[in-house]
Amino acid sequence: MPKFDVVIVGAGFAGMYMLHRVRQLGLSAVVIEKGSGVGGTWFWNRYPGARCDVESLSYSYSFSNELQQEWEWSHRYATQPEILRYANHVADRFDLRRDILFNTAVKSAAFDEKNSDWEVKAEGGGLFRAHYLVMATGCLSVPKAPDLPHLGEFKGRILHTADWPDEMDFTGLNVGVVGTGSSGIQSIPLIARQAKHLTVFQRTPNYSIPAWNGPLKAEEQREMKARYNELRDKSRNSLSGDYADECVVSILDLTDEQRETEFEKRWLEGGFNYQYAFIDLMTSEEANELAAEFVRRKIRATVRDAKTAELLCPKNHAFGAKRLCVDTDYYETFNRDNVSLIDLKADPIHDFVSDGIRTVRKCIPLDVLVLATGFDAMTGALSKIDIRGRGGVALKDRWRDGPKAYLGLAAAGFPNLFMITGPGSPSVLANVLVAIEQHVEWISGLLAFARKNKVTVIEADADAQEDWARHVTEGAAKTLYMKANSWYLGANVPGKPRVFMPYADGVSTYGRICSDVAAKGYDGFHLS
């Protein structure tokens, strides 16, 4: 059985950088990757319109100045193919592929208490041993199982946005899209341009801000790159991990006119800039409602049919409490003659027939059904692998009432195992590239410390983990994130415990805490 210092699961942005850092430490490593290429979420999510909702100059690695200077982004928000090209460029540039095993899914991992290492099993029988196991499995990598009544009766094509074929042409077809989160909102405008007819099945309308995407001018890119050190520092010292300006003014301190001017300015800047408009948007219901109503007015001004506009206006959850969407022509798409909207709250799906879908009120013929129904977020990929720690205890059993991980990085009872962007860390509330780099660098620091100090077993302390879980819950309780049935809370997966999973107090606070823990000799860990 091959033995490595480190087995890394997943060759997305987290796994690739972890491999690079581990090599720099002089440790042996293998990355085990289910897909046939690198890129993780950007490898799988190939649906039309898939693009990052963080600006590309920000959503990119900062660890190598040469890399960040040489790579040219074509657009403000890069498309999935461009991000995947970037991931491949990184893999080639740092010669990562020779230590990545593709087309191999990890099935289980068990801690061997006698030898203090991990035995990792792949589907198909491959066995690996490693002193450390790093889970770089991503927060949004396991599509949620479709929970639609009698879906099996439908004989047309069914696609999930997170498992998209290389080629898909909707010309002349009747298409249905279920789901109006980011994936639905990004794909609907492009599918509508091709399809004969597109029916959008909406359970909950979401807030979406225009991206105003466009080519990134060479001059602008040069200027930004010249300021990269400053911009990256600003990202690390922010709430969100982005270098966009986060306003520190309370919305309630402004006059109506000043407020309107600021909202309009932020709307025209586009994307998450709008969410960062005021310090209290995610903490004050009054502030949040003002921001929400501004978006609703924009929807009403865009969508010509007043009834459709009203259905598209979110009214039952706080602005930003479900992840904000960033779109190109989403609301405009509902002005097309070939697009219709079904409000599933008023007219739920009854069942499927061989050539269509029946809601309670009507039968809609479909050739293709697109499921944009989201993911078993944050814990899905970790629970899917049978991870056994001390005493053969399964991680998914330990997490039955909700995930607990010290700093969102390591779990008590699971020594020498680390999770990149695990539950309890900023992860999905942050620009995830910043969150990934911080975790990878912190874990690398710990591995270097362990080697220097002849530590062979690293394990989170159970009390430190409890305290951390309480701290994460208290941080979220102060916010309006608790005011929506979101995947942040596990509310999208039937039976999943309702626990707020990401760390809401911000990237800079979290980074400082992690640095303090390290400075105190890895306080909260047992090192032996």
Positions in the binding site for ligand NA7 (CB under 6 A): 140, 147-148, 161, 178-184, 203-204, 323, 344, 372-375, 487, 492
Supply the minimum distance, in Å, between the C-beta of residue 443 and ligand NA7.
Answer: 23
State which residue, 207 or 522, has the beta carbon closest to ligand NA7. Answer: 207
State which residue, 14 or 447, has the beta carbon closest to ligand NA7. Answer: 14
State which residue, 296 or 323, has the beta carbon closest to ligand NA7. Answer: 323
Question: At a CB cut-off of 8 Å and minimum separation 6, what does 95 contact?
Answer: none
Query: Where do the H-state alpha helices sit in 357-496?
Result: 380-384, 395-398, 432-452, 462-477
Supply the minimum distance, in Å, between the C-beta of residue 4 and ligand NA7.
Answer: 31
Element (H or E) spanning 187, and its range? helix 182-194
Supply the minimum distance, in Å, between the C-beta of residue 368 and ligand NA7.
Answer: 17
Burial class (CB in 10 A: 0-12, 13-18, 19+), 394: middle
State which residue, 348 or 524, has the beta carbon closest to ligand NA7. Answer: 348
Q: How far apart are CA 171 and CA 160, in angstroms?
A: 18
Supply the minimum distance, in Å, between the C-beta of residue 492 and ligand NA7.
Answer: 5
Supply the minimum distance, in Å, between the C-beta of residue 198 and ligand NA7.
Answer: 16
Q: How far apart are CA 27 and CA 446, in angstroms?
A: 13
Order of strands across the sheet with 197-202?
A: 157-160, 368-371, 174-178, 197-202, 339-343
Supply the minimum distance, in Å, between the C-beta of residue 47 and ligand NA7.
Answer: 9
Supply the minimum distance, in Å, between the C-beta of residue 40 and ligand NA7.
Answer: 12
Residue type, 52: C
User: Mapped to the 3 state alphabet, what secondary structure does 13-48 carry?
Assistant: HHHHHHHHHHHHCCCCEEEECCCCCCCCHHHHCCCC
Supply the minimum distance, in Å, between the C-beta of residue 30 and ligand NA7.
Answer: 28
Q: How far apart are CA 375 and CA 441, in angstroms?
A: 27
State which residue, 15 or 181, has the beta carbon closest to ligand NA7. Answer: 181
* Residue 146 DSSP code: P
Element (H or E) spanning 364, and its range? strand 363-365
Closest-CB residue for ligand NA7? 181
State which residue, 420 or 517, has the beta carbon closest to ligand NA7. Answer: 420
State which residue, 140 or 244, has the beta carbon closest to ligand NA7. Answer: 140
State which residue, 321 or 411, has the beta carbon closest to ligand NA7. Answer: 321
**Token code pair at residue 189:** 């405008």
If one counts every other C-beta atom within 10 angstroms of the C-beta of residue 307, the result is 10
